[in-house]
Amino acid sequence: MSTLIEKIASDEVIDIAFQWLCQKREHYHPNADVWQVRRWWHEKKPLIQGQILSGQYQFRELRLIRGKEESFEWWSSLMVALVLKAITIVLTEHLKPVLSPRCFHLAGHGGLKGAVRAVAENLSENTFVFRTDVKSYYASINHSILMEIVGKYVRDEAVLCLLWGYLRRYVSDGGNYIDITEGIALGCPLSPLIGALFLKPLDDRMAQLGCFYVRYMDDWVILAPTRWKLRKAIKATNQVMNELKVLKHPDKTFIGRIARGFDFLGYWFSPAGLGIAPKTVERMVENVARLYEHCAPSERIEAYFQRWWRWVKGGISPKRLSVIRRSVTQRVMQCT
């Protein structure tokens, strides 16, 4: 039987990762490194496989990309992205038996719309809700705690060394190099899987309590029929979060009766039925207004709205769609 590191370096997995990367970067500039790698792939492939198997592979630095509202780290090297994808492919299959089916953001677990439908279908059987997420989740993940969790399910030392290299990275910021000692990288194919595994202790505690529980990355909802059962779930959640050294987001935490309504993943849940969260509509209207102020063509504004509306339709029943569309359309007309 092949070890995990042998599977990562295998022809099958490396070729799948390469095809994924080519597809992701098919619209890149003609001078981008993807075209050189594609041209000389027959030579580069055995080299990268040899480095992985010998334990000599090392991750290169990331670049810090600064935006107007937030910054993110970018794995600029194509080969780094390829190796991370190969690790993701193998570990996804390896960890599938131990990851909770209530973690909906993982492939095959239902996705965002599956999480929304599961919550909506269980509202009538419960009275109370606890909804929260982790403050600065990716940035706050403790490496030692994470690797202790990983080590329970991954025993291949070569793979663990690769994972440490992925975590203990360094970032180039205008000529300065910053060592990263906490958190995982955004925009990385491996991070959603690692992010799911880090909160596995929470998944396990909720399963032991028998609560209705849905998690989408670091955003989760717990429903309970009684106040006592809800308090027990909240206490268990706080204990796990203390153990993991993460904090609840104060602005995104709601504890109370379902009858008051609550938002989750952009939708609004209440006894009246599933709707769109007010904040979601506000963000859409702001984006439309910004496009209008920047003199964007009407076709571009319409295309943005249609994409947003397709997202809405994926979770709302046909009976409520017409009412919601009239209300949303009026808001958009007001801002344009």
Q: What is the pLDDT of residues 205-234, one digit of tens each?
A: 999 998 899 999 999 999 999 999 999 999
pLDDT at 185: 84
Residue with tokens 């970032």: 171
- Which band of pLDDT confidence, cut at 50, 70 and 90, is reported for residue 17? very high
Helices (H) and strands (E) in the chain, counts: 15, 11
Question: Does pLDDT of 336 surpass 80?
Answer: no
List CB contacts of 58: < 8 A, sequence separation 6 or more: 165
* pLDDT, the chain, mean: 88
Q: Tens digits of per-residue pLDDT, 273-323? A: 888 888 888 888 888 888 888 888 888 888 888 888 888 876 676 667 776
pLDDT at 335: 64
pLDDT at 191: 92
pLDDT at 150: 97
Q: Tens digits of per-residue pLDDT, 126-179? A: 999 999 999 999 989 999 999 999 999 999 999 999 999 999 887 777 777 778
pLDDT at 71: 65
Cα–Cα distance for residue pair 116/314, rounded to 1 Å: 10
Q: How many CB atoms are closer than 10 A to CB 194? A: 23
Question: Does pLDDT of 1 surpass 70?
Answer: no
pLDDT at 284: 87
Find the angle CA(107)-CA(37)-CA(177) to the nearest 5 degrees.
80
Q: Which residue has the higher pLDDT, 59 or 215?
A: 215
* DSSP-based three-state secondary structure for 117: helix
Q: Which residue has the higher pLDDT, 238 or 284?
A: 238
Give which of 32, 84, 24 is closest to 57, Cα–Cα: 84
Low-confidence winner among 118-122, 216-220, 332-336 (lowest mean pLDDT): 332-336
pLDDT at 58: 86
Cα–Cα distance for residue pair 182/169, rounded to 1 Å: 10
Q: What percent of the chain has pLDDT over 90?
A: 54
List CB contacts of 258: < 8 A, sequence separation 6 or more: 123, 126, 127, 128, 129, 223, 269, 270, 271
Q: Read off the pLDDT of each residue in 1-22 and give the average, rounded to a whole number.
A: 92
Q: What percent of the chain has pLDDT over 70?
A: 91
- Which band of pLDDT confidence, cut at 50, 70 and 90, is reported for residue 74? low
Measured CA to CA in angstroms, residue 295 lies from 198, 243, 289 at distances of 44, 50, 10
Residue with tokens 């359309």: 329
- Which band of pLDDT confidence, cut at 50, 70 and 90, is reported for residue 14? very high
pLDDT at 177: 76
Beta-bridge partner residues of 219: 133, 216
Question: Does pLDDT of 246 surpass 70?
Answer: yes
